Amino acid sequence: MNKRWIFTLTGLLTLILSDTIKAQEKLHVLKLKTATDMHAFFSFTGNDVMLIAGHRGGMVKGFPENSIATFENTLRHTPAFFEIDPRLTKDSVIVLMHDATLDRTTTATGKLSDYTYEQLKDVRLKDAEGNVTDYKIPKLSEVIQWARGKTILNLDHKDVPIAMTAELIKKHKAEAYVMLTVHSPEEARFYLTGNKESMFSAFIRNKTEFDAYKNAGIPFRQLIAYIGPRVKSENKELYALINREGAMCMISAASTYDKLTNEAERRAAYQSILQDGASILESDYPIEAANAIKGLLKKGSVKMKWFGVK
């Protein structure tokens, strides 16, 4: 083979490799620009695309929970939004960390609240199998800045005062893509008092909890309802009540079906959540869950206008 052909072949392979890398870097995004967009995106219409929520971002070897790298890895495969866990350091910096202690998910030990953010800068995150990665503990503010134009963040409530969380959302003008997990109508009312556009993921697991939100005047078109971790007959009543108010229902498989060790069993379980009537499936394995329901999704939903590739 002469030198010209070698150079030509080398150039062709370089182009192919470059295109492959670019394709891998493309992210499936949610194109929300206003809080009104988010309210509409999560409203129940009866012809909705089932949404995927990555619990703590997702659990894939090499990618630690609650990290931007993991969020991006998920978005390379499927559009999704993410339930994440803000916590406070000793010097009141809000970072992402599910546990109160550092032992399980990082190379450090002890309570997160015993460390300043400066002391955590060289700490590395571990993946779900305990492998040390190159990734560091992110600040919530960094994650909010990253998420704009890409996805939606659902902030769980750990030890961060809700007034502090509300102020951070206001500071970043993030009402269009940051929602808040609330455990009571009173928490929702607090946020609404400061920002009437607030969006919630609310614990509504039975009719009593439904009635509490309804009687408190919390707008159902500004919430999704977490109804529990399982498919069960009692869900039918909740679907009827909550969907009638214009809200979607979410089942989280993180503590139940994600624990199944057989992939085929997990696939069947994810499909059963869709068939049961839920509008949102939250999972530790959002990529796997998205693939499981792909062939069962409705076509022609108006929600498709908010999906894109970036």
Local mean pLDDT, 10-residue blocks, the chain (310 residues): 49 43 75 97 94 97 98 97 98 98 98 98 97 98 98 98 97 98 98 97 98 98 98 97 98 98 97 96 98 84 92
Q: Which CATH architecture has domain 29-309?
A: Alpha-Beta Barrel (3.20)
CA separation, residue 57 to residues 65, 155, 159, 199 (Å): 6, 12, 19, 19
The pLDDT value recorded for residue 72 is: 98
Domain boundaries in the chain? Answer: 29-309
Q: Where are the beta strands (DSSP E) in the chain?
A: 28-30, 51-55, 81-84, 86-88, 94-96, 124-126, 132-136, 153-155, 178-182, 200-203, 223-228, 248-252, 280-283, 307-309
Residue 213 token pair: 């939100």
Q: Is 177 helix (H, G, I), strand (E, B) or coil?
A: coil
The pLDDT value recorded for residue 2 is: 53
Q: Specify the pairing of strand 28-30 against strand 307-309.
A: antiparallel
Residue 267 to residue 9: CA distance in whole angstroms: 42
Instruction: Report pTM.
Output: 0.91
The pLDDT value recorded for residue 196 is: 97
Residue 49 is given by DSSP the state P
The pLDDT value recorded for residue 161 is: 97
Q: Does residue 151 contact residue 92 with C-beta atoms inside 8 Å?
A: no
The pLDDT value recorded for residue 13 is: 46
